[in-house]
Structure 1
């Protein structure tokens, strides 16, 4: 891709008058914060258009089957995509735009005149984006491109005043938007029909989730940048987890990070263990789990909204990576049962059978989520309306001079 095309498209996008149009981008499947805000916006009376954009043909076909407005991004539709992007007033992301656009520089350039809203995907104990520069190779295109794409955001969502500085430093966004995560709404209310798209599970897993005679444990390790020696990355740990769960009359549900898109189909591994494809949106099912076990996935903070216990791997800073996990990024409160390889079984027994940390979890939840979880989409819909109005009006503003 020539620099001339990229520069020209960016310039044209910044000059082109915008239509009242909001484009939503997400992961490879229909999930995460943009999914829930997109569906909420569709259901409202509004004076702007909303469209889901994806590089995944299977996802676009699924959305079309449900009569949801969407647009496929591929080589055959490149001119159509560029024209669509040039006309958009607002672009909404919940992951790095580089991921949503497959790193396409021309497509990203075509969005330069739009307002970029970054919802991101969770409270983090990982250093992100600009905060990673001291630890990574900024001369590497594969690092530099997504870094630049994501730090273009005009505004970034932060769920708490305790996190504002982190998101400002990570994204260089001068505007911080206070609201909850849209995906967390289904942790505190029943999902609607369209919110179950992308959350489909086989019948065997549904029956296990609804079985009130057994406890349900979700094991959700985070994405690792390169090789990991953590015990949670070991097959032996999975076997110990399954065995410990069975002794406590609990089924184990294993779900890796969504970035592992080729990790296999959802299926039963045994009578008491189930594997969930990483791309499955598990949020509508999250409140069914009695316990979350993780290394340091951001899911553990959202899971606090269920009121149920969390177990996290005990890791000191620099024992694993020089930049993660870094618990100084969040309020200094105990909220989870820390475990090591030696204390894992006893920690699980206490969390399931003798949980004493509910007040601590609620205290951390209050610190991290300062707004009502069930009002996230309504609040952000108001932001969309404001940004559409501002972007469209800005493109129509001019002066007339006579000499």
Structure 2
């Protein structure tokens, strides 16, 4: 059974409506503390929220910063890093959220204790440049028509209206985020995405981090396979036994390692891959929840519709697209741009086609196909990233302080 679907998430939101009302009432009597900021990330400890926590901690020692953890494992990890942390579902999690002047999230208000957010300054970092239509723009968010759909749309609009600031990687991304959240232009600011600062980090450190998760790599090239999820549907590209064998042969012949990174909510069994070859490794989200710090260690990315392509494009390295369901996915989920613009028209529909695309010539020279894929990555970076200097977090912090000063 899938761990998350839009239908299940929306049902939880609707059933929680009375608790929103109680939280709103409590906010009338509880004064928010200007020096208290809380941070959380929907995928766990990391991403832009952690980067901004560290930036704020270094810039202003007078601030009281608290990490809101999803579970006890994340709580322990946060405290091991020296962060002050409380459980989201605990009384302290509610109280800290209710008292905080600033709330920083990456997915939604449910990253923190969603019932204590009313009246705070909400900074929505989001979690990547959207290719797939999201939030108010997405045809699958509200599940069709009728009363329930109208109730959900009203709830999403109300929650989105509470957002005070959304950073964007570029003006094209900003336009998507404005319509997705129904926000005026001045609340979505082009600063660069804080989570992308890690992509420009040192390759050696990223390689060490990756090896802690998947084992030694020697001097081999690394291919990262990172597909997106299908809202509860099975991944259409899970290899068959025969395809696993072909993949293993390709990796042996080219001195490469394939790192599998299924989406945390994906449906499909990738375990036969590592069993078939030592050159196939698994890097699950439970081992490394934040993938961006690992990206500098990757030589080739294989994905489909995931925003990881925009992140990885900053490195100017080859990106291959494996998307057998491109037409159907675009029809049902909706995309902000034609898929062939995103993929550069190089997408393939099977593992056999992908392996042929990535094959190294007998001469040992770099394949022309990889040069073409790398050139498209450079194009993606140029069109979707305003900044490539590793200072996105700094810019977001500066805009945040300016906006807070204006509200004083």
The alignment's TM-score, normalised by the length of structure 2, stands at 0.79
Structure 2 unaligned regions, length at least 5: 1-14
2: CA distance, partners of 1:135 / 1:53: 26
Q: Work out whether 1:275 is the aligned partner of 2:285.
A: no
Q: 1:346 aligns to what?
A: 356
1: CA distance, partners of 2:264 / 2:151: 19
Q: Work out whether 1:137 is the aligned partner of 2:143.
A: yes
2: CA distance, partners of 1:276 / 1:143: 35
Q: Work out whether 1:285 is the aligned partner of 2:294.
A: yes
- C-alpha change, 1:37 and 1:206, in structure 2 (3 Å) is farther
2: CA distance, partners of 1:116 / 1:87: 13
Q: Work out whether 1:72 is the aligned partner of 2:87.
A: yes
Q: Work out whether 1:157 is the aligned partner of 2:167.
A: yes
Alignment RMSD, CA only? 3.6
How far 1:253 moved relative to its partner? 0.3
The worse-fitting range, judged by mean Cα deviation, of 310-319 and 360-369 is 310-319
State the secondary structure of the residue aligned to 2:331. Answer: coil
User: Structure 2 matches for 1:9-20, cutoff 5 A?
Assistant: 9-13=23-27, 16-19=30-33, 20=35
How far 1:201 moved relative to its partner? 5.5
Q: 1:62 aligns to what?
A: 77
State the secondary structure of the residue aligned to 1:320. Answer: helix
User: Structure 2 matches for 1:4-403, cutoff 5 A?
Assistant: 6-13=20-27, 16-19=30-33, 20-74=35-89, 77-78=90-91, 80-98=92-110, 100-101=111-112, 107-133=113-139, 136-137=142-143, 139=148, 147=156, 151=160, 152-174=162-184, 175-190=187-202, 203=212, 205-208=214-217, 211-212=218-219, 214-228=220-234, 230=236, 232-236=237-241, 237-259=243-265, 269=275, 270-279=277-286, 280=288, 281-314=290-323, 318-320=327-329, 322-324=331-333, 326=335, 328=337, 332=341, 335=344, 337-341=346-350, 342-349=352-359, 353-354=367-368, 355-357=370-372, 358-391=374-407, 393=408
1: CA distance, partners of 2:175 / 2:251: 39
Structure 1 unaligned regions, length at least 5: 102-106, 394-403
Q: 1:399 aligns to what?
A: none
- C-alpha change, 1:2 and 1:41, in structure 2 (3 Å) is closer
Give 1 or 2: higher helix fraction. Answer: 2
Q: Are 2:238 and 2:268, in contact at CA under 8 Å, matched by a contact in 1?
A: no
The alignment's TM-score, normalised by the length of structure 1, stands at 0.80
- C-alpha change, 1:56 and 1:133, in structure 2 (3 Å) is same
How far 1:321 moved relative to its partner? 5.1
2: CA distance, partners of 1:330 / 1:317: 7
How far 1:220 moved relative to its partner? 0.5
Report runs of 4+ in structure 1 exceeding 6 Å deviation.
140-146, 261-265
Q: Deviations over 1:340-390 (max 9, x none)?
A: 225222211269633322343222201100123401111011123234434
2: CA distance, partners of 1:278 / 1:238: 22
